[in-house]
Structure 1
Amino acid sequence: MILSSLLLPVFVTLLASFVSGSSVLGIRATSNNTYPLPMKLTGSGIYTHDPSIIYNEKSGYYYVFSTHGGVARSKALKGPWTAIGSYLPTGCSVVTENAGHCDTWAPDVVNINGTYFVYYSISQFGTQNSVIGVATSKTMEYGSWTDHGRVFSSKSGDQYNSIDANVIQADGKLLFTFGSYWADIFQFELAPSGLAPLSPSAPQLTHLVLNQTSPQSAEGGFIYKPPKSKYYYLFYSSGTCCAFDPAALPTPGNEYKVFVGRSENASGPFVGATGKPLTETGGTLVLASHGNIYAPGGNSVFWDPKSKRDVIAYHYRPRDDIRGDANSVLGLNYLDFSSGWPVLVA
């Protein structure tokens, strides 16, 4: 998410208040640090940030929702991808006290009982002055969205930051995962409507991820269960994101990357491949910079009914042309879960 590129010393200080006497731990990586290239995509809609991908079986279109409100669609994963405009073209009913804008971040789109919900974040860089809102549509077509406003918010002094929503249906419940920096990633149950917490006045929070390695706090949590697996997989991003200066890039390895943990329960506890809890920096590396792919992250995962394969969507910067969000490119790869852990494949 955008937030991770800013005010790292402040976040380190804040995060320390949640870490009890244990030593700072190194990043947990897999033994395989090579990755396949993403699919070769075509079309004007391949520029995206924090992509959330979904397939509409009625229309036959894939849709990708992006930070800053953009939506692109295509009849095939490889494109051509066409930008079709914002899902909130006239603005949103949710603004934070000081932000006063409708620049939406990190959308998450999900089909709940035949209605499409897109959860979006509005915030200010480096603050907890944040709110997550929701809009709904029956088709995902331009102009079809109804904005329902606030779902959940945060303020200065909270343990969490209310951005980067992800919603999954599991065991008859709607589970709402969120969080970025501070104490990282949390979860609570939504009401069946999907429009508010089950307990609006005091949602019962479950702590899912706490990464204690500065400056590698976690954000962008996304929970996915492959159709034939007994496990739920919690993906998240960590490292420096977004506002890159090509002349002063982060120390190699400190840029954005994707980690994962798994659990037989959608509310955790999630552990990495070594069995270490994600609340103790236990994540396992899934994807990092390689070749011309720099700082991949902000991912979503879905089951593609056409190929009958699991697909991961993420953004990255071309290493030979690192600029701002406008140059953030959609990456798509298939995932192989046969080992019990996700591995990117061509």
Structure 2
Amino acid sequence: MTNKLFDLNIELKGDLKAHDPALVKENDQWYLVHTGKGIGFKSSNNLSEWHSQDSILNEALSWWGDYVENFDRENDAWAPDLEYFNGKWWLYYSVSEFGTKNSLIGLLSAESIEAADWQDEGLVITSTQGQDFNSIDPNLFIDPEGKPWLVFGSWFDGIKLTELNKETMKPEGEIYSLAHRMVGKRPAGIEAPTLTYKDGYYYLFASIDHCCRGNKSDYKIACGRAESITGPYYDQDGTSLMDKGGSILAAADREFTGYGGQDLFENKYLVHHAYHRHSGEYRFFIKELDWEDGWPKIKNYDLKINSYYKLKNLENQKTAAVEAAKTEARARIICNNNQKAHTNHWLIYPIDAEYYRIQNRNSLLYLEVGDADKSDGADIQQWSNTRHICQEWELINLRDNIYKIINRNSGKALTKLEDDYLVQKEDQDLDSQKWKLDSL
């Protein structure tokens, strides 16, 4: 598999430290709001050079503690979103107790960003441990008929949507479910939703897997689309976003990993954060978007990573799967004929210019060599992301989507045994060591 990762098409400089960025423009000035104490705030007059400004709020609002007692006082306002509607700027933000559903979404308004005449509009929605959804990561969306909607949510019961009152800009009516990811009864990572509309479709972008782990973050930006704003949303493979679906827009590049916390500007720019793969420090990026055949694509990102694959062994035409569709760590990998099952489907995405991670769609765990063993015959299993190179694989293209899959840690080839279990062995150019990547 060739791997030409994109060259930055918008070179940024200045203060680029921002988590969960949201991009807007007022007159000739660009602004970025982001996670931070009092809501982080940056500006630029050319989209390239960025300068930090004073936070939107001088101090935490007194009423936050009535709903979220133990929020982080040093990093209190998360994942803000700023949009213009009905003659005002509306700034939604979240305050949360990390890892819980004790959360709130609040609202500020202003006539002008430059004038900074921010007014506290109070509480929008809140959640507690007793509820299914989590009230964080708000995104304001105005539909083609001029109706305002709020999409929000994180982990637990996934991504939610509710219509807003045009006057109060607060919820009225039903809360809809748009996307979630579950492994058995265990919720898996999906958050940071962004809605947009283009050419008859509503598009839902979300960040999946794990954020906030520095260079161990395996965040990815996923997308699905629907003909109705309330769904159902499907990815390019036709898998529902309510069933772990999501076409992968981007995950990593040569220097940075953990793409996520994304926002869109007029369907032209994608803004997101990522972590330096060595230092673990984060920054934000702005990428240009193309739209091809009704789906978004990052300009100059020439890698086809927006689908899942079946790994079909050339020797017996069976596909790699987790044994008995297990979802726990250490489950072994085997070949079988159950090609339609999610446990036989694998997401392959780059972690640098030469190597990939391979993630099971059913368990959301990663293909690895057990215990980072370098010896011949070591078992292949699944495990959560450890960032160890025993979970990284080189894909060597032989012909017609047929590959050798070589472990980065051992230099040995993914090999099917006679009993159909997978191990690593020295590359002997055997058919049992060759794999056809069938895109779903």
The TM-score with structure 2 as length reference comes to: 0.63
1:105 deviates by 0.2
User: Aligned match of 2:158 in 184, 203, 214?
Assistant: 184
2:156–2:188 CA contact under 8 A, matched in 1 = no
1:148–1:195 CA contact under 8 A, matched in 2 = no
Provide closer, same or farther for how the CA distance between residues 40 and 186 of structure 1 changes in structure 2, counting only shifts above 3 A: same
1:274 deviates by 1.2
Structure ranking higher in strand proportion: 2
Give the 5 Å matches for 1:18-167: 35-38=5-8, 39-44=10-15, 46-56=16-26, 58=27, 60-68=28-36, 69-78=39-48, 80-95=49-64, 96-99=67-70, 101=73, 103-141=76-114, 143-167=116-140
1:137 deviates by 1.0
Larger C-alpha radius of gyration, 1 or 2?
2
2:274–2:284 CA contact under 8 A, matched in 1 = yes
1:184 deviates by 0.8
Give the 5 Å matches for 1:1-346: 35-38=5-8, 39-44=10-15, 46-56=16-26, 58=27, 60-68=28-36, 69-78=39-48, 80-95=49-64, 96-99=67-70, 101=73, 103-141=76-114, 143-170=116-143, 171-198=145-172, 203-213=173-183, 216-226=188-198, 229-244=199-214, 249=216, 255-303=218-266, 310-322=268-280, 327-346=281-300
1:216 deviates by 4.1
Runs of 5+ unmatched residues, structure 2: 301-440
1:123 deviates by 0.5
The runs of 4+ residues in structure 1 deviating greater than 6 Å are none
106-115 or 168-177: which moved more? 168-177
Describe the superposition over 1:141-186 as per-residue Cα deviations: whole angstroms up to 9, x where unpaired: 3642111110000011211000001111112321111100101101
1:208 deviates by 0.2
2:68–2:95 CA contact under 8 A, matched in 1 = no
1:232 deviates by 1.6
Counterpart secondary structure, 2:242: helix
2:219–2:259 CA contact under 8 A, matched in 1 = yes
1:33 deviates by 7.0
- Aligned partner letter, 1:312: L
1:88–1:147 CA contact under 8 A, matched in 2 = no
- Corresponding residue of 1:24: none
Task: Supply the distance in 1 between the matched residues of 2:138 and 2:201 (Cα, whole angstroms).
Answer: 21
Describe the superposition over 1:88-117 as per-residue Cα deviations: whole angstroms up to 9, x where unpaired: 123324413422647100001110122111
CA RMSD, 1 decimal:
2.0
Matched residues, number: 290
Counterpart secondary structure, 1:342: strand
2:262–2:272 CA contact under 8 A, matched in 1 = yes
1:50–1:67 CA contact under 8 A, matched in 2 = yes
1:341 deviates by 0.7
Sequence identity of aligned pairs in percent?
30
1:86 deviates by 1.1
2:156–2:187 CA contact under 8 A, matched in 1 = no
Higher relative CO (Cα under 8 Å, sequence separation at least 6) belongs to 1
Counterpart secondary structure, 1:279: helix
Counterpart secondary structure, 2:20: coil
2:70–2:97 CA contact under 8 A, matched in 1 = yes
Task: Supply the distance in 2 between the matched residues of 1:126 and 1:230 (Cα, whole angstroms).
Answer: 37
